[in-house]
Structure 1
Amino acid sequence: MTPEPAVRRVSSRVVYENRWMTVREDLVQRLDGSRGIYGVIEKDDYALVIPAERDGFHMVEEYRYPIGRRTWNFPQGSHPDHRGGDPEALARRELVEETGLRAGTMTPLGRLHSSHGTSSQGVHVFLATGLTPGEHAREPEEQDMRQRFVTRAEFKRLVRAGEITDDATVAAYALLLLHEENAPG
């Protein structure tokens, strides 16, 4: 028997919607019978790729409007218009789009939730190896994007210095470390 959820939706209304997200406000009821509201951002899952070679990673940097600054992160993105699809295909597309790199091998490292207190969105994390360079195909929103290779030591320094603040990038690195602990040899 499935236990009763701690919070049950009584009603819901969409308060905003665009190509990438829906924001809804739910009237909820708690276990004790009290009621309240809950704001939820519905976003499709996205893919994040760790392009790794030579004891380092290919990173991208761009201006992030919501936080008002440039930051470094692993290539990542989602399908617009709630199209959904295969996470690995999306990861491969994002890698090419943002870096021009093509991966010979794409290893799934896990799936995490982003901002699970306010959003339904998850992230599929992949390790890309056997990289072949090529031309990127960035979207108009990515026209200011920069790309560079960083060593693992520099990656750690960028996290400590607050130049990598993307939670999914740091969490993906943790998944990579766990993967490497279990790798043979």
Structure 2
Amino acid sequence: MPFIERVASREIYRNPWLVLREDDIRRPDGSPGIYSVVDKPHYALVMPYDGQRFRLVEQFRYPVGARRWEFPQGAAPDHADIEPAELAARELREETGLRAESFEVLGQVDVAPGMTSQLGWVFLATGITEGEADLEHEEQDMRSAWFSRDDVEQMIRSGVIVDAQSIAAYGLFLLRGR
């Protein structure tokens, strides 16, 4: 039996990108409670790397009211069954115009496991070729640029990169060790 048992579940809200549900739960001691959960499709985060530099994207993130530098990442709610590597290639192409010969899985990350079921696949993309971005309507303000490893690390240290998934992905890259 799981640590927390779901007794009932009801959908509170739905749109093409997420479902908000509220679950009635029972804890191990038998006491009742509720859990609100945001269900979102899994996503892919791509670290485009040419051996010296990483390609980052910057865009306005409405929920925090600020522009953010991060690694290209996204989900495909209309294609929830898409393979993670295919999703990574699609996000890379859409957001940066880049194509890669290789997508190496570095690991998985939970987005915010206390409130959402969403998890992400982290890929290192190498064998990069340039191309034209194919931005989605919501990404009109997106721009991208190359940064050295030293620059990326300084951006993390100084708070320019605060996206938790991007920082976690960089940690997975460092653990890779090559």
Question: Structure 1-normalised TM-score?
Answer: 0.93
Pairing partner for 1:73 from 70, 75, 93:
70
Pairing partner for 1:104 from 91, 101, 105:
101
C-alpha contact 1:44 1:84 (8 A) present in aligned 2: no
1:131-150 equivalences under 5 Å are 131-150=128-147
Counterpart of 1:27 in structure 2 is 24
Residue 54 of structure 1, CA deviation: 4.0
Partners of 2:122 and 2:19 in 1: CA distance: 23
73-82 vs 17-26, which moves further: 73-82
Instruction: In structure 2, give the amino acid aligned to 1:109.
Output: L
Structure 1's consecutive aligned runs of 4 or more residues displaced over 6 angstroms after TM superposition are: none
Residue 105 of structure 1, CA deviation: 1.1
C-alpha contact 2:42 2:80 (8 A) present in aligned 1: no
Instruction: In structure 1, give the amino acid aligned to 2:143.
Output: R
Pairing partner for 2:2 from 2, 5, 8:
5
C-alpha contact 1:44 1:82 (8 A) present in aligned 2: no
Residue 43 of structure 1, CA deviation: 0.7
| Aligned: 1:160 with 2:157 | yes
Aligned residues: 178
Counterpart of 1:179 in structure 2 is 176
Instruction: In structure 1, give the amino acid aligned to 2:96.
Output: T
Instruction: In structure 1, give the amino acid aligned to 2:91.
Output: E
Counterpart of 2:35 in structure 1 is 38
C-alpha contact 2:42 2:118 (8 A) present in aligned 1: yes
Partners of 1:88 and 1:81 in 2: CA distance: 16
Residue 82 of structure 1, CA deviation: 5.8
Residue 37 of structure 1, CA deviation: 0.6
In structure 2, runs of 5+ residues without a counterpart are: none
Partners of 1:177 and 1:18 in 2: CA distance: 37
Secondary structure of 1:23's partner? strand
1:121-136 equivalences under 5 Å are 121-136=118-133
Instruction: In structure 2, give the amino acid aligned to 1:165.
Output: V
| Aligned: 1:51 with 2:48 | yes
Superposition RMSD in Å: 1.0
